[in-house]
Each structure stands twice: as C-alpha cells, then as structure tokens.
Amino acid sequence: MRSSVALLVDASVDTLEMYAVGLGCQGFTTLTATEGLTAIHHARMSQLDAIVTEIQLAGRISGWDLIRRLKTDPVAQRIPVVILTGRIEPSLAARAQQAGCAALLTKPCLPEDLVTTLRHVIPTHAVAMGPREPDADAHPGTSFTTA
C-alpha cells in the first residue's frame, strides 16, 4: 500500500520543512509549495490525499483563492483541505467550513497534531498507517463534516 501524500502550502520555507519532516517520520510523502499557483499545479498533476495550506500566502493568489480554485477544479475538488494558519479571528472556522475545508488548525501546531488531523480527514482506504480513529477529541483544532 502506498503512503498517503500531503501537499503542504506555506510562504515560509522553514515551516514547510518542519512539517514535511514531521509528516515524513509518520509515513507520509509530502510535496511543498510556497505559493498558490504551484499548489494548484501539484493538485492537478499529483495523486494527493490531502492539502494543508496557510491562508496568508505570497504570490498572486491568497490561501482563500487557492481553496476556492481547488474546490471548483474537477480534479482537485475531492482532495480534503486543511487550513493551518497563524491568523486567529472569530469568523475563521465558519469561513473555512463554508469554503469546504475538512479542518482548521492554528499555529503553533505540533507536527504530531497535524498528523492526527490528517489521519482523521483522509479517507481510511488512503491512509497507509492503518485505520483512522474517529474520536473527535483525538485531534486539536476544528474538523468539519463535509457532504
């Protein structure tokens, strides 16, 4: 069985490296992008199981624009999107859920907590590390049930 593949999108190369190492230690394969257009390319061309994105991105499109484009793309719309952001605002969870995101995490976030969230949002058959635990208390952050 192949390992789960996660695309990490953040303007900070250091942040990308930290999470890529953390996920790699837990059996994930990671791709990274520092801006939205590269992320869209990866989403269309790679077999991704999840996308983790910051909403504050460098480049021509914001994280919200990236999510909107992913959720309207025929190839990428099936991929669960997790927002991992340093922004904290009251309407963030509602906006993320309305955008079709699977979960919302705020920084600082331990790589282990991101792994737990990814195991929760990636369909069980795609997770090489074994079945996911459906316990909502097992992961920090906000998860959303999507139809």
pLDDT above 70 coverage of the chain, percent: 83
Could you report how far apart the first and last alpha carbons of the chain are, in Å? 27
The domain of 102 spans 5-143
Which one has a higher pLDDT value, 134 or 89? 89
Question: For the chain, how many structural domains are there in total?
Answer: 1
With cut-offs at 50, 70 and 90, classify the pLDDT of residue 127.
Answer: very low
> Looking at the predicted structure, is the pLDDT value of residue 145 above 90?
no
Is the CB of residue 46 less than 8 Å from the CB of residue 7? Answer: yes
DSSP 71-134: HHSTTTTTS-EEEEES---TTHHHHHHHTT-SEEEESS--HHHHHHHHHHHS-GGG-TT-PPP-
> Looking at the predicted structure, is the pLDDT value of residue 122 above 90?
yes
Q: How many CB atoms lie within 10 A of CB 97?
A: 17
The CATH number assigned to the domain holding 112 equals 3.40.50.2300
Is the CB of residue 120 less than 8 Å from the CB of residue 103? Answer: yes
pLDDT in tens, 4-26: 999 999 999 999 999 999 999 99
Token pair belonging to 14: 């250091």
> Looking at the predicted structure, is the pLDDT value of residue 80 above 50?
yes
Q: What is the pLDDT of residue 139?
A: 42
With cut-offs at 50, 70 and 90, classify the pLDDT of residue 90.
Answer: confident
Q: Using omega within 30 degrees of 0 as the cis cutoff, is the peptide bond preceding 134 cis?
A: no
Dist. CA 95–CA 1, nearest whole Å = 35
Task: Give the mean pLDDT of 85-89.
Answer: 91
